[in-house]
Structure 1
Amino acid sequence: MRVLFASSPALGHAFPMVPLAWALRASGHDVLFATSAGGLQVQRAGLPVADLTPPGFDLDAALEQLKQVRPDLYARMHAVQTERQTDVRDAVDYFGETAGFDTPALLEVAGGWRPDLIVGSFLDGAGLAVAAKLGLPYVRHNADLGRTTGIDELFRHHMAPVFDQLGIDGLPARRVTLDVAPPSAVEVAEDEWPMRCVPYNGSGVLPDWLLPTGDRPRVAVTLGSIVPGYEGLGKAAEIIGAAAEVDADFVVALGEADAAELGTTPANVRIAGWVPLTALLPTCQAIVHHGGGGTTMSALSAGVPQLVVTGGAGRNVNALALAARGAALVPDDGVVTTALIRQALEDETLRKTALDIAAEMATMPSPNEVAGRLVTFATR
C-alpha cells in the first residue's frame, strides 16, 4: 500500500505524523511526506519528502499579503483568548487560506505517485481536497487537545475557490480522524479512532550534560519552534527572571533562536539549542511552555507537571484543556512567577494527575495497531 502524508507548512504539523509513518513503513508499506516551508524538516525522520513549494514562491511574503488582506483573521490568530476555546475554527480559516498555496503541487505529486490513502495533518486542507479530487480515502491525524469535529466541512467552506477551480464537488467519501488526546482530558467523538501519542521532536546527538541530572530538580523551558521567531524572546526572559529564585536547574530549549538578546542568565539556567523533548522531559520534574501541541502532548506522555503561558488560538486550546483536567497551571494574566514555578514543582496533586494521564495514554492503541487498521480501511 502507498500512503501519502500531507502536512501544512509547519514543523509542528508534520512531526506528530512521523510515528504512524514509521509504523506503516516498518510493516512494509511505502510512505511519502508532501509539505513545504517548515514542514520540510520532517526529512530528519529518515522518510522521503516531496517539496510542494512552487518555483519562486515566498511563504513569508504570501503570509504578509494575507495579513494585509485579512487583518481580522491575523488578529484573531495572534490574540490571547480569554474564553474556553475547545475547537480550532480560527485556525481553520487561516490554514484554509494557506492550503491553497500547496494544493496544485500536491495534486501533481499524488497524480504521479498514485497513493492508496492520504493522511493529512490536523490542519491540512490540501490533502483533503486532493483526496476528494482523486476519489481516495482520507485520514485526518489530530495532534493535540483541540477538537476537530466538523473540520472537513469548514475547510471545504474556506477553500471554496480551490475546490471550485479543481472541479471538486464534495468531500472524500471515506474519511476518518485519528485522535491522540487522552479521553479523560477532552470530549472524544465516537466515530474517531483513538491512537496513542508517541511524541517525535526531531533527532540529534544528545549533549553530554543531559544525563545524569544530579540531585537538584530540573525544569524544562521551551517556547516551541514558532513563538520566538514571531514574538521574540521577551517571554523567555520573563521566565528566566522568575527561575533565578527557584532552587532548581532550568534548561531553556530555544531551538534556532538567537539567545544573545537574553544577556547574562542566572547560574541555575542553561541555554540550550535544539534538544528533543523526548530525551529532555524524562530528566525533568516540570516544564514551562507556550501551549503548543507537540510540547503539550510530549509533556502529557512523559507525565510531567506543566506551567503553560497562553498564546494564540491553537495554543490557548491546549492550555485551557490542561487546566480544566488539572494537568497544568495556567495563569490568567499570562505571567510566569517564581511562586508558580515552585507550585509546578511541589504540587503533589498536579504531579499525580500528570502521571495518571500518562498511564491512561499508554493504554491507547499504538501506531502499529492503527497502521494495521488503516490497511483494512483503505482497501475495503
Structure 2
Amino acid sequence: MRILVTASCSEGLVLPLVPIAWALRSAGHEVLVAAPENMAKVVVEAGLPYVRSAAAVEMPEVLSVDRDGEPVPMPREEAALLRHIGRGYARLALRLIDGLRDIAKRWRPDLIVSETYGFAGPLLAAELGIPWIEQGMRLVSPPSISQSGADELAPELKELGLSDLPSPLLSLDLCPPGIRGADGGPAQKMRFVPYNGRASGLPDWVHERRDKPRLCLTFGTRVPLNRSPIKGGFSLLEQLMHRLPELGVEVVVAVSDEVSGNFTKLPGGVRVAGQLPLNQILPGCDLIVHHGGVGTTLTALALGVPQVTVPVIAEVWESARLLVASGAGRQVPFIGATADGIFDACAAILGEPSYRRNAGRLREEIAALPSPADVVRRIEELLS
C-alpha cells in the first residue's frame, strides 16, 4: 500500500507518529510523511521520506486569527478554550489541505494516517474516498475539540455532502488501561514506543552511577521560548533551575540550545542536557517536571518515571488530572504556578514510594500492549 502520513506543525505532534510510520514501512508499505516546512528536519532525522505540505506555520498564530485574518481573543474558561483550540486545529487543516491535495494527486495514496486533531487527514480522505487511521496521542482527547473543529469546517464538509468528519477505519489508542479504565471506546490499543528525536551521541554522565536522585526538568520546545499562547515559561524554568537543587537532587535540564543560550547563570547541581532525547535521559531519572506535552507525558509513563506536570495548554488539562488520579504523578497548573508550588509537589513525590510503584505498574501495562508491528497486521486485515 501507499500510506500518506499527514503531520502537524509542532514537534510534539510529529514525533509520536514515527513508530507507526516505521512499522508500516518495515512491513513493506510505501510511506510518505507530509508536514509543514518547519517540521522537515524532524521527519528527515527520523529516517522517513518527507514532502512539504505547506510553508512553515506556528500553532499560536493559527489560534490567534480567524479565516479572514481577524484577531480571535483567547478565552479563559476551560470549555471555551477547548472549542477555541478545536477551531484553531481546523484552520490549520485549511492551511495544509491544498498542499496535501497536490501531493495526493501526484502520489495516489491508498490510506491516510493522521493524529486525532489533524483534521486535514480525514478531510483529504473524504475527498479521495479512501480510508484513514486515527493516531491518538493524548491520555484523553476531549471530544469538544473534534466537534468544534467539525463546526469550523462545516462549509468544506457540506461541499463533500457530509455533516461531520468521516470516521476512521481504526483509532489507535496509546493510553494504558490503568489511566482511563475501559471507557476508551472500541479503539485499538497500541504500545507507545518512545521516540524523542535523534541523538548525536550519549554523554558518559547518562550511565554513570549517582550518589543522589536525578530530576529531569523540561518545558518542551515552545513554552520556554514563549511560542505558546500562554507566556512566562522561560522565567519559571529559570526559577526552577535555582530552586529544585535544594531538594538534594541533580537537576538535568532538557532544552534546546536556543533556550539554554539565554540562561544567565547555571546554578550548582544543574546540568544542561541540550536536546538529548528524553528516552535517553529518563531511564536514569527518579522524577520529571514538565509542561504536560503529549510526548513527554507518554515517554515518562513508558519508562516508569513519576511526573510533576505543569500543564500549559487546555487540551492536556484532563490528561494531567487522569495522571494524578493514577497515582503516578502530581500536577501544578501552569497558570498561577510558582517555583515553590512545584518544589513542594516534587518533595511529595520523592518522599512517597507509591508514586514510583504506580509509575512502574503503568510502564508494565504499556509494555504489554500490542506493538506497532502488531497493529500494522490488524490494519492489513481490515483492508484485505
* TM-score clears 0.5: yes
Query: 1:223 — aligned with what?
Result: 219
Partners of 1:13 and 1:123 within 8 A in 2: no
Does 2:337 match 1:343?
no
Unaligned runs of 5+ in 2: none
Deviation at 1:347, TM superposition (A): 1.4
Residue pair 1:292, 1:314 contacting (<8 A) in 2 also? no
1:144, distance to aligned residue in structure 2 (A)? 1.8
Structure 1 segment 1-380 matched on structure 2, within 5 A: 1-40=1-40, 41-54=42-55, 63=62, 66=65, 69-72=70-73, 75-76=74-75, 89-147=83-141, 149=143, 154-164=148-158, 167-170=159-162, 171-172=165-166, 175-186=169-180, 188-204=183-199, 205-230=201-226, 231=231, 232-331=233-332, 333-337=336-340, 338-377=343-382, 379-380=383-384
Unaligned 5+ segments in structure 1 are: none
Query: Residues of 1 paired with 2:156 and 2:252: CA distance?
Result: 44
Counterpart CA distance in 1 for 2:140 and 2:267 is 36
Amino acid at match of 1:251: V
> Counterparts of 2:133 and 2:243 in 1: how far apart (Å)?
43
3-state SS in 2 of match to 1:31: strand
1:152 Cα deviation (Å)?
A: 5.3
After alignment, is 37-46 or 3-12 more displaced? 37-46
CA contact (8 A) 1:19 1:200 kept: yes
Give the direction of change, closer, same or farther, for the CA distance of 1:321–1:257 in structure 2 (3 Å limit).
Answer: farther
Deviations 1:302-346 (A, max 9, x none): 110111113221232322221122221113653343333222223
Whole-Å separation in 2 of the counterparts to 1:224 and 1:58:
18
Query: Is the contact between residue 213 and residue 283 of structure 1 (CA under 8 Å) also seen in structure 2?
Result: no
**1 or 2 for the larger relative contact order (CA 8 Å, sep ≥6)?**
1
1:64/1:282 CA distance change after superposition, 3 Å: closer
Is the contact between residue 119 and residue 141 of structure 1 (CA under 8 Å) also seen in structure 2?
Answer: yes
Q: State the alpha-carbon separation in 1 of the partners of residues 22 and 129 from structure 2.
A: 25
TM-score, normalized by length of structure 1? 0.89
Return the letter of the residue paired with 1:42. Answer: V
1:59: Cα distance to partner? 5.0
Counterpart amino acid of residue 335 in structure 1 = T
Q: Give the number of aligned pairs.
A: 367
Which residue identity lines up with residue 2 of structure 1 in the other structure?
R
Please give the per-residue CA displacement for 1:48-67, whole angstroms capped at 9, x wherever unaligned. Answer: 0111125xx76589538617
Distance 1:352 1:65, change over 3 A: closer
1: CA distance, partners of 2:311 / 2:145: 23
Compute the displacement of 1:90 (Å).
Answer: 3.9
Amino acid at match of 1:95: Y
CA gap of 1:289–1:161, structure 2 versus 1, over 3 A, is same
Residue 168 of structure 1 aligns to which amino acid in structure 2? L
Closer/same/farther in 2, CA of residues 61 and 292 from structure 1, 3 Å limit: closer
Distance 2:65 2:256 in 1: 27
Q: CA deviation at 1:349?
A: 1.1
Paired residue type of 1:14: V
Q: 1:104 to 1:370 in 2, by over 3 A?
A: same
User: Contact (CA 8 Å) 2:9, 2:59: kept in 1 or not?
Assistant: no
Q: Please give the alpha-carbon distance, in whole angstroms, between the structure 1 residues aligned to 2:173 and 2:186.
A: 10
Deviates more, 1:325-334 or 1:228-237: 325-334
Provide the C-alpha distance between the structure 1 equivalents of 2:309 and 2:120, rounded to a whole number of angstroms: 31
TM-score w.r.t. structure 2 length?
Answer: 0.88
8 Å Cα contact 1:222/1:290 also seen in 2 = yes
TM-aligned CA distance change 1:89 to 1:63, over 3 Å: closer
Asked if the contact 2:219–2:237 (Cα under 8 Å) also holds between the matched residues in 1, the reply is yes
What code does the residue aligned with 2:360 have? L
Match of 2:253, SS state, is: strand
